[in-house]
Structure 1
């Protein structure tokens, strides 16, 4: 009943790439959301959600959505900590907090979606 999985080495490479992509989206999103305040948050959230959802659909596993989310959280932890000089990447303003909260929610949602179904919710998947 289960669909065949790609070879193990290929899956590991894809998982590592999605982890690194999660880090890149987090770093880029931190600057985009601050650069264009109302629109930048939406743009950063769209990229974040697309990364998590693509990891889920391309790998067909929840780990495919969880690893970009883990990379995203790891980069967020590093960006939240202030530097000794007093510089911050993320401030405690509304846009930074909205991006942090909504990105976390997107990560949880994508990591709990069903795997190996159709690309869009409500559309039947391929016959088994």
Structure 2
């Protein structure tokens, strides 16, 4: 008895390319992540303990909100990548000797804490599971 007919019906359909609206949303979240990263870099050193917590809370709100708004992990990853790009570009010293981040505890907590928050929020994003209660996986 051949089961190839049953296997053909069990294969998943290929993913459709993202719509123009979704691409625009991800691009907007990327740019917003860069803005939040730059603002957080300035704020975390200005008011040390409170500014650091406020900068990390703002980043967490953006990452988690992006994931919930787009109902996907990509919505959390897109602003996280924008945040990382902005923060990494701000850590590089310029030829004139200017730099934004000092070598203090607050700067390292902002960098490492922001990365940890990004990973946590991307992990909390919705997976590709059916959302109807009557759907059972494995049937």
State the TM-score bracket (shorter-chain normalisation).
0.7 to 0.9
CA-based RMSD of the aligned residues comes to 1.5
Deviation at 1:114, TM superposition (A): 4.0
2: CA distance, partners of 1:95 / 1:77: 15
Structure 2 stretches of 5 or more lacking a match? 1-17, 134-139
- Tell me the alpha carbon deviations over residues 81-124 of structure 1, each in whole angstroms, 9 at most, x when there is no partner: 001111111112011110111100000011111417xxxxxxxx
TM-score (norm 2): 0.77
Instruction: Give yes or no for contact 2:64–2:125 (8 Å, CA) kept in 1.
Output: no
2: CA distance, partners of 1:108 / 1:101: 11
Structure 1 stretches of 5 or more lacking a match? 1-6, 117-125
- The match for 1:115 is 126
TM-score (norm 1): 0.83
1: CA distance, partners of 2:132 / 2:51: 40
- The match for 1:42 is 53
Mark the structure with the bigger radius of gyration.
2
